[in-house]
Amino acid sequence: MNLRLFVIESTALFMLMLCAGTTSAYGGDVDSGDTIAIKKAVTSWLCWDKYWGWGPYELGRLLPIKIKSDGKAFYVWVDDLVVMDQVRMAAFYEGRMKDGRAAVILREAYDLSGHPRASTKKKKKEGTFESGGPAVTGSSLPQQRSEMFDTGLVIHTDLAIPTDCTPHYEAATQEKDLMMKTIIKTIKDHLTFSLVKKGSANTTKLKMVIANFNVDYPSTYVLIEPGNTVYSVALHDAQDYDSHLFEREGAYPADVDEEPSAELVSRIKKNGIVKEINIQPLSK
């Protein structure tokens, strides 16, 4: 399974608790508890993407947004999420509500300025960008997405982008311990398969550096040394955050990052949890 596609479909599975109502600074609707949960899910995604992904967001901004929700699914449109280098980018989010919590499962962004931008990344879907690459132009999808908010019950409110997106990690829990064990097993299985393909029967000692994470993160990274090989690891099922499907199966969707940036490698090490592992491709 290609994780870059998975991240587009599943990105940012952040679960936020129900809160009290507030009033929009732009003079829009009064925010209900569900609306606040949705906004927090989106801002959590933005901070995760700002630190770990592409995320050229200007921190500390307050932006008008539109929300549609039926209590189970929600949709968000944000104009001018990014304004830079003569480029205007809007964003569309889709998510799910459950037990008063909101989870973003899809993020798309669109360059609405009409200025094409070159990229060395492979474009998976015209009109969108993935974490790590810019948007592209020439698709009717942005218009289709934005027109969703022209009819029906639409909530007009504002989104406050945090002023600081430095990650803060929660204390260890039984759930996080299970996720950590699943990450280790996933990467060890990938490495074992790789050695088998190469025909190696020797035990190989490696250092696994797991980028620290909170249990609501959509994904994390694993650095393998020596060699600076980086894996992207998805941590949740897009359609049901609470299912723990991957943990029950004993493996997460994971892909090798073909072109990890020096900044990404540095941040993995800075936030890393180090594990010494032995890879033994053939049982004795």
Q: What sign does the CA torsion over 275, 281, 283, 284 have?
A: negative
Give burial (CB, 10 Å; 0-12/13-18/19+) of 208. Answer: buried
Query: In this predicted model, what pLDDT tens digit does every residue of 23-58 receive, in sequence order?
Result: 455 556 667 888 999 999 999 888 888 888 767 788
**Number of residues that make up the chain:** 284
Residues 11/15/20/25 CA torsion (nearest 10 deg): -20
pLDDT of the residue at 125: 39
Q: Taking the complete model, does pTM exceed 0.85, yes or no?
A: no
Least confident interval from 115-119, 139-143, 264-268, 277-281:
115-119
Whether residue 7 has pLDDT greater than 80:
no
Is it the case that residue 67 has pLDDT exceeding 50?
yes
Q: What is the pLDDT of residues 249-262, one digit of tens each?
A: 999 999 998 888 89
Q: Which one-letter amino acid corresponds to residue 85? A: D
Q: Is 252 exposed, middle or buried (0-12, 13-18, 19+ CB in 10 A)?
A: buried
CA distance 32 to 19: 8
**Residue-range domain boundaries for the chain:** 3-160, 174-279
Ranges 59-73, 93-107, 259-273: which has the least confidence: 93-107
pLDDT tens sequence across 115-167:
444 333 443 433 333 333 444 444 567 778 888 898 899 999 999 999 999 99
Q: What pLDDT, on a 0 to 100 scale, did the predictor assign at position 233? A: 93
pLDDT at 78: 92
238 — phi, psi (to 5°)? -60, -35
